[in-house]
Chains A and B, each alone.
Chain A
Amino acid sequence: MGEVVLQVPRFLSSLFKGEREIKLDASNVRNMVMTLSDRYGEDVKEKLLDGEGRLKAVLNVYVNGKNVRFTGGLDTSLNPGDKVTILPAVAGG
């Protein structure tokens, strides 16, 4: 209980050792990235964040379907039961 659920898309599964759904405790998105980095290696942090420690422009993180760029970025708070998704920033035709 008290955990958020990260849904891992196929393009990220190798980063998370093949896991497609990860449960973890995290109070905000930054905290989630750090926890994942501790669990799966520094690669996670290096690949998800840019040189200035911000979420890479080529990625979008959604919390319950809401893009965190509209809700405070990495500071977006997480609550137990929240569903988090990471997708490439690919939209439109």
Chain B
Amino acid sequence: MREVEVTMGQIGGLRCRECSKEYDPSLRYVCEECFGPLDVFYDYDAIKVTPETFAPRDKTMWRYFELLPLSSLSSVVNLWQGFTPLHRSKRLAAKLGLRELYLKNDSVNPTFSFKDRPAGVGVSRALELELKAIGCASTGNLAAATAAHAAVAGLPCYVFIPVGLELPKVAQALTYGPRIVEVEGDYDDANRLAAQAADAFNIGVLNINLRPYYVEGSKTLAFEVAEQLGWEQPDHVIVPVGSGAMLHSICKGFEELRSVGLLDEIRVKVSAAQGQGCAPIVDAFKRGLNEVIPVENPDTVAKSLAIGEPGDGLYALKKVRKYNGYAEEASDKEIVDAIRLLAETEGIFTEPAGGVSVAVLKKMVDDGKIGRDEKVVCYITGNGLKTPEVVLESLPRPIVVKPDLEVLAPYITGR
């Protein structure tokens, strides 16, 4: 990373999302008073940024470091993630009948999912807090992202996963050299054990005791979209939701751009997309509930979103309501169809979470919940190579021929 003149250390501290009590930016993640989650806040008045501030910087998410929770640029554990393409859709947009559709393609991050963003921030902050080991609980994507950053940082890494994850995800994560603990149970069991390990062994677990810092990385999904649209906000964003943390962070990102004067009043609509079989936020939204009822046995092909007890579920629900969005679900078949549709029209191969986004986008356009003239951004958060078996069964088999032109000829159309 190039040396940049910058004043770091503009983190104001941690603030409870429930009771607003403030704390120093240390290794803590729940409020002592009410046990609410803690969020990082900044001294926004001290942050002097303009579009020109960012323009000359490296095309990574670290270009927004004034709004990331690090004390020093030298702490950054850099995999050169972020600033992924904001792909202007032509053929998919035409098929759906949308005038202006963009795909935020995070499938091309260094470990092939958006998780490089929060993991990068979490591991960098772990170094600043002088932690000796890190870890995470994961459905697969965070496992790879955490392990890769741990490898770069030279830190021991413990990854807790549920049994039965997609093999490519496990193989990818294992290759970076962490200790992987496969927990006999579902994601929530793995997460609980990771939380207990964080407490008992003083490990920095990214999505648990480092969570306030970790989630800040996902704000860059909002920063980049705004910058790539010429410092404008879209009319509508579609966000795949598991725990709700990413959706909450994307909203915080837009809110912070407003706080530092880079955006006007927030008017973007924020919609949540979940897989049928694990859609507690959609369920709460549709039933008008003020609580998110956990799902005991999540069952969706979108395993990276199969979080039955979504930690930020209620907060994500509140943001969807605040920003006039919707919450909608997609069945396994709709997800697979959407993965293929995205690949066939835009050349982007996504894992099921991205299929959930596209399937829900299609459903919302069909239902009239997204106007055809709206400027829409659909978040594609992971790469299809992580889950090839999801689509394989639905695909046509290859044509098998002898190496002979005459045998081949009948198969070639469009000549």
Contact = CB atoms under 8 A, between A and B. Distances in A.
A57 B30 contact: no
A58 B34 contact: yes
A11 B138 CA distance: 23
B346 interface: no
Given A9-B196, A69-B294, A92 B244 contact: yes
Interface in A71-93: 85, 87-93
B207 A14 contact: no
Residues of B contacting A: mostly: loop
Interface of B: 18, 28-30, 32-37, 115, 118, 136-138, 141-142, 185, 187-189, 191-192, 195-196, 199, 206-208, 211, 214, 242-246, 291, 294, 296, 307, 309-312, 314
Contacts of A57: 291, 314
Interface stretch (A22-30, A31-39, A59-67): A59-67
Contacts of B18: 58
Given A9-B199, A67-B294, A91 B32 contact: no
Contacts of A70: 294, 296
7 contacts: A10-B199, A47-B35, A65-B185, A65-B192, A87-B192, A87-B196, A93-B246
A90 B196 contact: no
Contact of B191 (A11, A56, A85, A92): A92
A90 B29 contact: yes
In which size bucket is the chain A interface? 20 to 34
Contact of B188 (A11, A56, A59, A67): A67
Given A58-B30, A85-B192, A88-B37, 10 more contacts: A11-B28, A47-B35, A58-B36, A60-B192, A60-B309, A85-B196, A87-B195, A90-B30, A92-B187, A92-B311
